[in-house]
Structure 1
Amino acid sequence: MLLKGKQAITFSRRPDPAIWAVLAFGDDEGLASDVSASLVKAWTPRTGALEVSVLDDDAIKKDPALLFDNLEAVSLLGEPRVIRVRTSGDKIASLLAEAIAEGDTGEHRYAARLVIEAGSLASKSKLRAAASSANRTACLQLFADEAGDIEDRVKAALLEVGATIDPSALSAFTGDLPGHRGIANSEIEKLALYARGLGRDVTLMDIRALSATDIDHDLSAAIRATLSGDLVAANTALQRLEIAGTSAISILRALQSETLRMLDAHKRMAAGEGAPGMKLRPPVWQSDWPAFRARLAKWPQKRLLRILERIYDAESQAKSGSGSADPVVRVLMNELGNAAALVD
């Protein structure tokens, strides 16, 4: 059973009891993780607990029996169990497809439920095909949040701590959020912590103050340094991303987002807008505009369009690897940094 977009999100909150396994996949691994967490919450009994075990590619590839042993194991306390498997590409697709097919042979074939978290999967992916065709497995294809969805998440998070936010502040905050779901969640949590007990609406001044004092996202720092030609700062930021376990695809997504923002700025300036920073998404604050304008000078429209082509090529290769230090992304970032450094 294949469900896409909002249908997939709705299913994760109220899953069909007949479904024992779920594959959640999309370009943003953070979104797949959120959906997995929603499923775990939905499967947790109102009176009782749920035992959750987490496995990854390396563990299962090293010991294939580990997956099936965990699925068949019964909790000593009699609690329901869920196995969360985090995978990328088709590294262990055959084993997961085998488990999915075996789960179709009987309602209680396995003692535990299974939820698989994956990144982007091609339409011909063996894992995707197995989940889509199975009778008792849901295949959830996830897409990036729309602007309205992000605003709803921010307002809901603030409401939980008894806070509200001005419309202008909400627009500025959501516009400045990174595309990666996991990082965006972290920023929303920080905002909620700031707003707890504030006693008034969160204002645009609050958002500006938070943006001015908060440490730059390593993703944004890496992209800015690369496009500015600051190779030392770019490599330092990339090393921090590697330590944090940021995926190569997330780095490419951030680079793509910034490239599109710069193209939008060129278009607006060509139409006669002098400094359109606050109209961009995410906005460029007045204090950041000179540095952003300098990067625009290094990267005219034709060069930015070439970056988009390189991103597409790099993404095709990077999806076959793992980790933020993927050589394909490293090479691309170094080449862009060197190119920017050559432009005065």
Structure 2
Amino acid sequence: MTAVKAGEVEGLLRRGPDPRIAVILVYGPDTGLVAERARLLAEKAVDDPADPFALVKLDGDVLAGDPGRLVDEAATVGLFGGKRAVWVRSGSRNYAPAVEAALKQEGADTRIVVEAGDLAKSAPLRVVCERSPRALAIPCYADDAGTLADLIDRTLRADNLRITRDARDLLAAGLGGDRRASLGEIEKLALYARGQGEIGIEDVEAIGSDVSGLMLNTLVDAAFAGRVAETERSYRRFQIEGMDASVMLGAALRHALTLLATRLDGEGKSPGAMVAGWRGLHFRRQRIVETQLARWSPASLRRAVTLLQDAVLGARRAGGDFSHAIAADLFLRLASEAARRG
């Protein structure tokens, strides 16, 4: 079994995979993180990532029609010598037979990196890689608080920047479930603060980091505060603007988890006292979050978390209009529940 646990991925990326590994499958619901890790692994496997003879890019649908192509590419010797890699981009057709054939090919030094989508445990591509001792299967799930903090620190450190804890908490609260979008916001902040050494809350507020958090707070806060009409208007607006349903649900899930942790830690305290200890909460949101803490008990928040987790998974599987139907329905259910408790 060569499936890598989610918590072990960052360590594996830092030290690099075992040289004997022929195929690395990178998959998961966070398409930005999948793409970033696949690129990193593919480029690290060659001496010059800009050399098209050293790093060959193939489309999965091409391999589905010509399974032997991957074996041929893996066996090819570089025009100028050196290490080679093949980067396979996700396709809509089943190209697991091509990967399986490449894994059976002994002696090839070419590293194959497969960039895939959100694969079920029974998906042929995932089964092939997880069963082979010559392959690794690396999952990519949405960043949690710890990985977001690490991502922020590492990205800013590359520009010789530090960030205060409060500013990091505020920035992390505004980042969503897509690694590519999160990186874009962090890099925007780094560009804004270049040369000043340390980043504070005022810098984060100035660049308006709102990938799926600070702007989505209007929707999430309305739902958990019981403002049904506002929830419906906000959801429709984000849908029209092209916001992904699972991103909106992810923001609500993170907020529900934070509310739950705050309620449990603040047992016996008033909502105002609990809000006072909420790190990174913008002062403009304090009153509405107090309302939410007053209306939601730990038991009701646990139920909300379960519903949101199921909805995130359902929206990712459904896609398109069906995902929005799932998300919109749940946001209105949350708002109705909060209104009833008011």
Task: Tell me which interval the TM-score lies in, with the shorter structure as reference length.
Answer: 0.7 to 0.9
2:138 alignment partner in structure 1: 140
One-letter identity of the residue aligned with 2:193: A
Gap runs ≥5 in structure 2: none
Corresponding residue for residue 65 of structure 1 = 65
* 1:208 Cα offset (Å): 4.4
Partner SS state of residue 44, structure 2: helix
| Contact 2:176/2:211, CA 8 A, preserved across alignment | no
Which letter does structure 2 place at the counterpart of 1:309?
Answer: T
Q: What is the identity percentage for the equivalent residue pairs of Structure 1 and Structure 2? A: 21
Partner of 1:31: 33
Q: Deviations over 1:17-38 (max 9, x none)?
A: 4433221234544332321121
Where 2:104 maps in the other structure, the secondary structure is: coil
Whether 2:240 is the aligned partner of 1:239: answer yes
Residue 86 (structure 2) aligns with: 82
Relative to structure 1, the CA distance from residue 221 to residue 117 in structure 2 (aligned partners, 3 Å threshold; closer, same or farther) is farther
Contact 2:88-2:115 within 8 A present in 1 as well:
yes
Verify: 1:332 aligned to 2:330, yes or no.
Answer: yes
Note the 1:2-13 alignment, pairs <5 A.
Answer: 2-5=3-6, 7-13=8-14
Contact map agreement 2:68 2:98 (CA 8 A) in 1: yes
Is 1:12–1:42's contact at 8 Å kept on the other side of the alignment? no
2:126 is aligned with 1:128: yes
Alpha-carbon distance, 1:339 to partner: 4.8
Q: Which AA in structure 2 matches 1:36? A: A
Matched, 1:321 2:318: yes
Q: Give the structure 2 partner of residue 43 of structure 1.
A: 45
5 Å-filtered alignment, 1:1-344, equals: 1-5=2-6, 7-13=8-14, 14-26=16-28, 28-46=30-48, 49-50=51-52, 51=55, 53=57, 55=59, 64-65=64-65, 69=69, 72=72, 78=79, 80=84, 82-86=86-90, 92=93, 95-107=94-106, 113-119=112-118, 121-122=120-121, 124-142=122-140, 149-174=147-172, 177-198=175-196, 200-211=197-208, 217=214, 219-227=216-224, 228-229=227-228, 230=230, 231-240=232-241, 243=242, 246=244, 248-268=245-265, 270-273=267-270, 274-277=272-275, 279-280=277-278, 283-297=280-294, 299-323=296-320, 326=323, 327-340=325-338
Q: 1:189 to 1:125 in 2, by over 3 A?
A: same
Deviation at 1:304, TM superposition (A): 2.8
1:191, distance to aligned residue in structure 2 (A):
1.7
Q: Distance between the aligned counterparts of 2:311 and 2:166, measured in 1?
A: 37
Residues 81 and 111, structure 1, Cα contact 8 Å, conserved in 2: yes
Higher mean C-alpha displacement, 65-74 vs 229-238:
65-74
Provide structure 1 residue ranges, at least 5 long, that are not aligned to the other structure.
Answer: none
Q: Deviations over 1:91-144 (max 9, x none)?
A: 75xx3332221112214779883413333643x444322111123321123466
Contact 2:119 2:126 in 1 (8 A): no
Question: Which AA in structure 2 matches 1:99?
Answer: A
For residues 185 and 129 of structure 1, do their structure 2 counterparts lie closer, same or farther at Cα, with a shift above 3 Å needed? Answer: same
1:60-79: CA deviations, max 9, x gaps?
7xx9416765775699x959
Q: Please, what TM-score do these two structures have when normalized by structure 2?
A: 0.75
- Residues 129 and 136, structure 2, Cα contact 8 Å, conserved in 1: yes
Contact 1:223 1:234 (8 Å CA) reproduced: no
Counterpart CA distance in 2 for 1:212 and 1:320 is 28
Over residues 213-240 of structure 1, what are the superposed CA-to-partner deviations in whole Å (9 max), with x where a residue is unaligned? 9996554444334444211112111333
Q: 1:291 to 1:20 in 2, by over 3 A?
A: same
CA contact (8 A) 1:161 1:192 kept: yes
Maintained 8 Å contact 1:223/1:255: yes
The CA distance in 1 between the partners of 2:148 and 2:331, in whole Å, is 29
Query: Which stretch shows the higher mean deviation, 256-265 or 162-171?
Result: 162-171
Residue 106 and residue 120 in structure 1: after superposition, are their counterparts in 2 closer, same or farther (change >3 A)? Answer: closer
| 1:24–1:140 Cα contact (<8 Å) kept | yes
**Matched-pair contact (CA < 8 Å) for 1:9–1:35:** no
Query: Is the Cα contact below 8 Å between 2:21 and 2:111 reproduced in 1?
Result: no
Report Cα offsets for 1:140-162 as digits up to 9, x if no partner.
23466565554443233223223
Counterpart CA distance in 2 for 1:211 and 1:83 is 35
Higher deviation after alignment, 334-343 or 302-311: 334-343
RMSD, matched Cα: 4.0
Q: Are residues 46 and 280 of structure 1, via their aligned partners in 2, closer, same or farther at CA, if it must alter by over 3 Å?
A: same
Count of equivalent residues: 328
